[in-house]
Structure 1
């Protein structure tokens, strides 16, 4: 391939690039306004693409390094690619390309180095798989992505036939010297820029360096520790495969897509509906908490609304019965009845004055007293009999501790017998939990 042909190829590529850029600026794409969702998964996009490319192959790379020839010649390379986009920013791509590499020592003294004048290497094939990372987009914050930058790296195998000074050694390679080509592994590292021509077509410009695991690409072992390398600068077209109704994942702008979702009228309606539901729940909670009469029981559970302020109420909001005063009727000794709490034989503090008065009478005047204990009707008769005895003994213990002789106090437990009020009501049961004293 001569320089004139190369210039024509570059000119065609330049014209194609200008045309692609014009199309990009002129087009209006609705890919990001599709029904795709940010977290909808890959199934809502086109993720496969097929590419064709052509360009210039060279035995030199942009990062420099040692070379076995002083001059290189541009040669045509061409290939195809197949890519699977795995996310907004990453994909896997398979590449196959062919071409030719050549160079000379024309700038060396006499045009020859160690008897070598030139080389020409046919690349039967070069195949690799690469990871492709979209590192940036020129208009990432705009509604429509149209320019992407990308970097690539991977692993591949190349088969080649080097000719030195025009000598073709095809059929003499390999351990048995019967192979047409040398096969070696290589690492491809590259970068490029992609222009969106339409929703299905993009125009790509790229440059890839290939680092071989060997030093025979140009047919010369110049340095024992050096490795050969070559580069491929190319232009190409890439075609998105799949349903037309789906956007190409390559060009989806996640920020723009998220903005679309936030501005989606149906989503806004859902948000408003959710707000209304939250408001309804909050109102229901407030209604549950509402307590119009301030008795501490919510209106929804208040069975006695309108209770006067300060009234003690039970769990249903109804007034508690007023404490039952001790019966005004006196025993034969004139001492009032002693009341007890439910299921308790512990003396109340309000009983102390009555018992102190009885103690004083017994200590000063002598005589005896009978203490009768009673219980309300809750529980079994046997338990209530025991409880009534415990209540009578509590009174006796108090009197004895206050100085009354133990022989002066007789106790008797009568259980549920002789109720002074009905056991069918709480008010009545409160009165029946008692001890009565009778002086003999």
Structure 2
């Protein structure tokens, strides 16, 4: 009896240690709360080995056979898990049970070639909202089966072997299972078997069964796709918690991504604001200011450099626009092209515009730029586009050194056509920027 207790204690400690080190999420991965049974494997097989004897926790039906003989037992089963907490299994059990009555000098030895039972197995850990782990599974089962046995009676040195008999028996099992992966369990159990005929060679009373114990340990393997967890290891609460954690992680990742995106936009905005800074207040951003830190109120050109001082002399300066000047302006008008629907000047127009800028700088002329469009599109769009194109030409001339204060840019949209808008050629003629030099 002492050896039996020691064996049981060491076996339980070993399996508890394995279960503690094997805790993971593999028994719930890939499943959803209230998910269909197709998310799981439902069939399993188990193989167990252990010890058989006539003792039990309550010491009944021992017939005075207090000298217990411990023998090896073995079993295997196939189970269909119907729900996370309940399954039906068919179990085979074999081995030998023996015991002695030291006071009478008698004993028995019963061989069990086979026994087959159908049991219902209830898994406690898969139904309790408090036991929501998905690793350690207390269970209990109760069944009904048929057993074949052959008993040998011992009286001193004499032995008498009875005929083999087949009888009904009831197996009742309690134990722990330790889920170590999606489809593998360690199994540690204590099974009482109630037999309705003379299992130990002694004829029983009407309501007095024979009892023997099977203490066992083994492994249960789920059948089916390895990618799916086993339904018998699926605790609904653990599945719910895991699903909640995944949703939380997804929301957290989305939040972090939005924060990172917001940080990038903030950095970009800071860079743009820095590009537009004008420390000396002359109207030219630092990035393009070739003469920074000009005194407040100083008139500057397009590059931010001070304009030449005008001497206050009573002197009439006559500005004469020559035919050559007019030719340069007409050529610039003729060669001026923009990107379609935009105010961006095409590079082929730069050369003629450079010559206009040179005249403005050399002769200090003033220039009026008038942007026009055809009547295609809304009035609001055309007014804005004509204004932007005139401003774009002004900006280019200022970038080449022309005096911004002497250039006026105005947009008239489609209000001043010079040709009919009913034809493509007419509309092309109406899309223009006019230069007036004075």
What TM-score do the two structures reach when normalised by structure 1? 0.50
Report the counterpart of residue 120 of structure 2 in structure 1: 131
Q: How far does residue 223 in structure 1 lie from its aligned partner after superposition?
A: 4.6
* 1:3-402 alignment runs, 5 A limit: 17-27=12-22, 29-31=24-26, 33-71=28-66, 72-106=68-102, 108=103, 111-112=104-105, 117-136=106-125, 144-165=133-154, 167-169=159-161, 173=163, 181-214=164-197, 216-221=198-203, 223=205, 226-262=208-244, 264-265=246-247
The 1:31/1:42 distance shift into structure 2, 3 A limit, reads same
1:128–1:155 contact (8 Å) kept in structure 2 = yes
Q: How many residues align?
A: 248
Query: Shift of the alpha carbon at 1:259?
Result: 3.3
**Alpha-carbon deviation of 1:158?**
0.6
Deviations 1:15-34 (A, max 9, x none): 66555434433335333552
Change in CA separation of 1:100 and 1:132 when aligned onto 2, cut-off 3 Å: same
Deviation at 1:198, TM superposition (A): 2.8
- Structure 1 spans left out of the alignment, 5+ residues: 174-180, 270-440
- 8 Å contact 1:137–1:147 — kept in the other structure? no
Superposition CA RMSD, Å: 3.3
Classify 1:136/1:70 alpha carbon distance in 2 versus 1 (closer, same or farther; 3 Å). Answer: same
Shift of 1:267: 12
Cα distance in 2 between the residues matched to 1:23 and 1:35: 24
CA separation of 1:22 and 1:119: change in aligned 2, threshold 3 A? closer
Unaligned runs of 5+ in 2: 252-438
Task: Note if contact 1:98-1:125 (Cα within 8 Å) is conserved in structure 2.
Answer: yes
Tell me how far 1:237 sits from its aligned partner: 1.3
Q: Shift of residue 62 of structure 1?
A: 2.4
Q: TM-score w.r.t. structure 2 length? A: 0.50
Counterpart position of 2:310:
none
Cα deviation digits, residues 86-107 of structure 1 (max 9, x gap): 111101111101111111110x
1:57: how far off? 1.1
1:428 aligned residue: none
2:46–2:220 contact (8 Å) kept in structure 1: yes
Deviations 1:146-187 (A, max 9, x none): 1110011010111000111253535xx3xxxxxxx2000011
2: CA distance, partners of 1:142 / 1:192: 16
Structure 1, residues 204-230: CA drift from partner, whole Å, max 9, x if none? 11111111222x111122656532121
Work out whether residues 31 and 199 of structure 1, in 8 Å CA contact, stay in contact via their aligned partners in 2: yes
Partner of 1:355: none
The question of whether the paired residues in 2 share the 8 Å contact of 1:126 and 1:159 is answered with: yes
In the alignment, is the contact (CA less than 8 A) between 1:59 and 1:103 conserved in 2?
yes
Deviation at 1:139, TM superposition (A): 9.9
Distance 1:261 1:232, change over 3 A: same
Q: After superposition, where does 1:403-418 map in structure 2 within 5 Å?
A: none
Q: Per-residue deviation at 1:195?
A: 1.6
Q: CA deviation at 1:253?
A: 2.0
**Aligned-partner Cα distance in 2 for 1:224–1:82:** 33
Decide which structure has the larger Cα Rg and report it. Answer: 1
8 A Cα contact 2:126 2:132, kept in partner? no
